[in-house]
Structure 1
Amino acid sequence: MTDFLHYAQRGHVVTLTMNAPERRNPLTGNTAVDEFLRAIERIEADDSVRAVILTGAGTAFSSGGSIQEMERQSSGEVTGMEIRRDYRRGIQRLPLALFNLEVPVIAAVNGPAVGAGLDLACMCDIRIASENALFAESFVKLGIIPGDGGAWLLPRIVGLSRAAELTFTARSIDAGKALEWNLVSQVVPAGQLLATANELADAVAANPPEAVRLAKRLLREGMHTRLDTLLELSASFQAMSHQTADHRAAVTAFLQKRMPVSGSN
């Protein structure tokens, strides 16, 4: 994973850095999706990982789709059915993989997140932004539509009216407006972005990992599940949680008025 995505681990925290700054970290026309999928598989297989930070190298978070790839798709060289297949076998695997990853993912948006780049940030659980960040759901400006799940993700984050405004106008909003619209939860100076992301990731990683994973699964399922179904799933997850060593240690520590010592640390 050296061509596009840099994988680095510090304790329980993995940082994934999109590393094509000269092209503003595009997600198509390269190996980006395959590298993301391999990284997610690696994270899933490593129980020591408790939080993930995703950011971009250079001045941009991600420019989204490659213009060169769009030119190829519109040139007549490929059929509509081939393009459909390419989407299903390509970038559409990314939202599914990130959605199903139980380890929390923090997007540290360092610069412009455009088109599929904005949608990539929306695939993460938490988004924080530097003051240099810009956000644009820019597909219609190029005569196309969000093909990577953005039309499902964005309204669930900012609401339907604001998602429609971003999608139909293709205008960009700055970090301050993104904070106002709840697209991000924090805006920090550019020089403090990764430090803030690491502090947040450490706070996540300090908690019992199985409880965090199950809590993320409930939040994700709650995005599309009926209340009664979610309550039933919650009861099952809670039954498992009550039997863990981390829960027993936390209860004992609380009764003894001391900090818990997690067996998972």
Structure 2
Amino acid sequence: MKQESSPGDEVRLAFEGPVATITIDRPAVRNAMDRDAWTVLAGHLEAVTRSDARVLVLAGAGGHFCAGADTSARRHADLHPLDRLGHVTAPLVALQELPIPVVAKVDGPAVGAGLSLALAADLVVATTRSRFGTAFARRGLSLDTGSSWLLPRVVGLQTAKRLAYLAETLDAEEARRLGLVTWLVPPGEVDAFTADLALRLAAAPPVAVRLDKELLGRSHERSFREAVAAENIAQVVNVGTDSPTAREAHARGERPVFTGRWRGRPVPSDQGDT
């Protein structure tokens, strides 16, 4: 196991095999993130990008996911508000654009910027004691930390407006019904469930998954014709990467082991149809 952070760090990064895990551990403020925590998160995301990790798990310690932004410290009050907000949103952009799958393991509140952290993940595993909410309107604020972009894509426009205007706090079951949560599990099972899910994702063909993430992430901005053209290019890449591995393993009756390495073989004649 490769450990990037010490156990006492408030935002820790650890590697175990193909799985990277970032854990927020600021129990005094329910894992709310101050400026330093956002800085550390940004650095960890850069490290994950440079690593060989195939999946990232984002978690909160101590029965909390993240209660949003911690604004109690005023050490940087002299900075322009745009600079302060940009410092917070930069790691959220990096998280959303991370090319590998991201799993948010949510136990406890995911509110405000904490909700954005969960929404920026590809998949959300939540416990039955989790809670979700935007919270901004309660403070006289509009949506921020990317939630105006993330929410409509996850729950649809009308539900996004409901959550923005009313700033309701949703329990875990309602969050799952609305599409904020992918899987809902008891608190005692979330660690094992997420660990198994991470390994399943890590065993998937890494280049194909990366291309799927890009295809789906840009689907709202492409026409159907453009989406089909992008899919065709992706399949050509896959045929020179892990698709031969899958065919060869299938012929032997074995489970394929995907490496993501470029094999560069020409497209076989039987690849005209998918």
Global fold match (TM > 0.5): yes
Q: Which residue of 2 aligns with 1:205?
A: 202
Give 1:87's match in structure 2, choosing from 66, 85, 88: 85
* TM-score normalized by the length of structure 1: 0.89
Q: Which residue of 1 aligns with 2:223?
A: 226
Give 1:63's match in structure 2, choosing from 64, 67, 71: 67
Q: Distance in 2 between matches of 1:43 and 1:204?
A: 16
Q: Distance in 1 between matches of 2:250 and 2:133?
A: 46
Q: Which residue of 2 aligns with 1:136?
A: 133
Report if aligned partners of 1:116, 1:146 keep a CA contact under 8 Å in 2: no
SS at 2:14's partner residue?
strand
Report if aligned partners of 2:23, 2:58 keep a CA contact under 8 Å in 1: yes
Q: Distance in 1 between matches of 2:114 and 2:259?
A: 38
Does structure 1 residue 39 correspond to structure 2 residue 44? yes
Report if aligned partners of 1:127, 1:185 keep a CA contact under 8 Å in 2: yes
* TM-score normalized by the length of structure 2: 0.87
Q: Distance in 2 between matches of 1:92 and 1:226?
A: 28
Q: Distance in 2 between matches of 1:37 and 1:85?
A: 15
Q: Which residue of 2 aligns with 1:17?
A: 23
Amino acid at match of 2:248: T
Q: Which residue of 2 aligns with 1:8?
A: 14
Amino acid at match of 2:147: G
Q: Distance in 2 between matches of 1:95 and 1:224?
A: 20
Does structure 1 residue 247 correspond to structure 2 residue 229? no
Q: Distance in 1 between matches of 2:209 and 2:154?
A: 21
Report if aligned partners of 2:65, 2:110 keep a CA contact under 8 Å in 1: yes
Q: Distance in 2 between matches of 1:25 and 1:223?
A: 33
Q: Distance in 1 between matches of 2:136 and 2:51?
A: 36
Report if aligned partners of 1:109, 1:129 keep a CA contact under 8 Å in 2: yes
Unaligned runs of 5+ in 1: none
Q: Distance in 2 between matches of 1:261 and 1:147?
A: 41
Q: Which residue of 2 aligns with 1:161?
A: 158
1:34, distance to aligned residue in structure 2 (A)? 1.6
Amino acid at match of 1:84: L
Report if aligned partners of 1:208, 1:264 keep a CA contact under 8 Å in 2: yes
1:206, distance to aligned residue in structure 2 (A)? 1.0
Give the ranges of 4+ consecutive aligned residues of structure 1 lying more than 4 Å apart after TM superposition. Answer: none
Give 2:252's match in structure 1, choosing from 250, 256, 259: 256
Q: Which moved more, 1:130-139 or 1:233-242?
A: 233-242
Listed as ranges, the matches of 1:48-127 within 5 Å are 49-68=53-72, 78=78, 82-88=80-86, 90-127=87-124
Q: Distance in 1 between matches of 2:78 and 2:256?
A: 59
Report if aligned partners of 1:214, 1:237 keep a CA contact under 8 Å in 2: yes
SS at 1:195's partner residue?
helix
Q: Distance in 2 between matches of 1:23 and 1:118?
A: 15
Q: Distance in 2 between matches of 1:38 and 1:163?
A: 30
Q: Which one has more relative contact order, counting CA pairs under 8 Å at least 6 apart? A: 1
Q: Distance in 2 between matches of 1:109 and 1:4?
A: 17
Report if aligned partners of 1:103, 1:213 keep a CA contact under 8 Å in 2: yes
Amino acid at match of 1:34: T
Report how many residues are paired.
255
Q: Distance in 2 between matches of 1:261 and 1:123?
A: 29
